[in-house]
Amino acid sequence: MKARFTPALFAHAEAVLGQLLRFDHPADAVVSRYFREHRQLGHADRAFVAETVFAVLRRGRSIEARCAGQLSDRRRLLATLALVRGWSQRELAPVLKASEEEWLAAAKAMPEAELPPAVRCDLPEWLYARLEQQFGADETLALARAMNQSAPLDLRVNTLKADRETVLAKLAADDITAAPGALSPLAVRLRDKPALAKHPLFLDGAFEVQDEGSQLLGFLLEPKRGEMVVDFCAGAGGKTLLLGALMRNTGRLYAFDVSDKRLVNLKPRLARSGLSNVHPGRIEHERDQKIKRLAGKADRVLVDAPCSGLGTLRRNPDLKWRQNETSVTELTVKQASILEAAATLVRPGGRLVYATCSLLSAENDAIVGAFLDKHPEFTLLPASAVLARQGIACDGDVLRLLPHKHNTDGFFAAALERKA
Ligand SMILES: C[S@@+](CC[C@H](N)C(=O)[O-])C[C@H]1O[C@@H](n2cnc3c(N)ncnc32)[C@H](O)[C@@H]1O
């Protein structure tokens, strides 16, 4: 159902945008809190508000340029509706003032191709410069365009509870249009974004929401029955749950994180999943005693490192305005330190996977390159070969998923093996 566009609904979007543009909290948290405080807003109204303010976060830089400096939050929203969402002046009529019509027509008339490259890509200068150096101008534009779209909703089937065909059939019976993912053998991609929190298959643990790209990191680690596996930065367990299922609920899977809050969020997911091989543990830092006790014992270790998150701009467009060169440099120091500590856990012949959801080589190739230079006892396992033997086609010695090529979030992952 489409929302009825009224001045009151527009005012809600304006209020949310005002909060978002302070950039002091993650955008999804700000929007969720606003909706909790305004329960009268129905599903369609919420969808309108969320999509419109997220569109401003995605396209704000080029919108500003096209509006030639005459900007307020109200005008940002009007211009986004007209220029990004393609609304006509007739559709905007309930809100648009006669005095704004000329301004909006001029913004619409300005050709996008005349904007400087970073503005056209809707990226801050520093980020554009880094991506352009890595990918070249044409590919950066394609990448930025893909990242300025909203992401599809992907599920991961929990093989302890169901198989993909059964999940697809049951979703179809509920009029939820879905298709098997193109890369992950466990992925289901939905055509729309239905609310799933009360769906019986979700409540029963038959699926979890997880980007298809994120699922491939579990396959790169390739944990087996009966092994000892460590998820070093487990967070709320997005990947832990997949690893536990790949281990067929056997062996021992440690889920470590420094954040109590995230580990608490893992609990209900674990309960739904039916897994009993997962051992969550909070650590103070990467050199915690709990870690030291496992030195040299783990068959496989996943480091899903804290990162800039710049591969997830489709979902978190605010990150491009909240990260900066200093925050990225601080993250790289942390990433190197976590990888160093996690590596000590790996037994001879065992596997270590370093992964991020960043696009920046400073957080990816540079971290792994420096680690391998310092640790000749580790070698790089070609990611394409590891994935090919599990029926997953992906080129390259490292896994590099990109929104414009793979239609997933941006991920980097490298599989390293400690020599036997
Ligand atoms: C990319 S997130 C992990 C996401 C999680 N693996 C998932 O799939 O949902 C990175 C995590 O690293 C955790 N972290 C930060 N510093 C850490 C450290 N020194 N040791 C372990 N975990 C850390 C953060 O709390 C955060 O949960």
246 has pLDDT over 80: yes
Ligand 1 atom closest to residue 236's alpha carbon, by position in its atom list = 9
What CATH number was assigned to the domain covering residues 212-418? 3.40.50.150
The lowest-confidence range among 92-96, 183-187, 194-198, 255-259 is 194-198
DSSP-derived secondary structure letter, 2: P
What is the pLDDT at residue 239?
Answer: 98
Q: What is the ipTM of this complex?
A: 0.99
pLDDT band at 2 (very low <50, low <70, confident <90, very high): confident
Tell me the mean pLDDT in the region 276-304.
97
Q: How far is the CA of 234 from the centre of ligand 1 (A)?
A: 6
Which residue's CA is the nearest one to ligand 1's atom 1? 306
Q: How far is the CA of 103 from the centre of ligand 1 (A)?
A: 46
Q: How high is the mean pLDDT of the chain?
A: 96
What is the CB < 6 Å shell around ligand 1? 232-239, 256-259, 262, 283, 285-286, 304, 306, 338
Tens digit of pLDDT for each residue in 338-387? 999 999 999 999 999 999 999 999 999 999 999 999 999 999 999 999 99
Q: Where are the domains of the chain?
A: 7-115, 117-148, 212-418
What's the CA gap between 181 and 51, in Å, rounded? 24
Catalytic, out of 67, 121, 357, 394: 357
Tell me the mean pLDDT in the region 203-231.
98
77 has pLDDT over 80: yes
Pairing of strands 228-231, 252-257: parallel
Q: How far is the CA of 256 from the centre of ligand 1 (A)?
A: 8
307 carries an active-site annotation: no
Contact criterion met (CB below 8 Å) for 99 and 124? no
Tens digit of pLDDT for each residue in 80-92? 999 999 999 999 9
Ligand 1 atom closest to residue 307's alpha carbon, by position in its atom list = 1
Which residue's CA is the nearest one to ligand 1's atom 3? 235
Residue 310: which residues within 8 A CB-CB, separation 6 or more?
127, 319, 320, 323, 357, 358, 359, 360, 410
113 has pLDDT over 90: no
What is the pLDDT at residue 112?
Answer: 85
What is the pLDDT at residue 69?
Answer: 67
Residue 257 marked as a ligand binder: yes
Buried b (16+ CB within 10 A) or exposed e, 82-112: bbbeebeeeebeebbeeebeebbeebeeeee
Tell me the mean pLDDT in the region 389-416.
97
Residue 163 marked as a ligand binder: no
> Whose CA is closest to 262, among 204, 295, 304?
304
Q: How far is the CA of 262 from the centre of ligand 1 (A)?
A: 9
70 has pLDDT over 80: no
Q: What is the DSSP string of 154-176?
A: EEEE-TTT--HHHHHHHHHHTT-
What's the CA gap between 109 and 113, in Å, rounded? 12
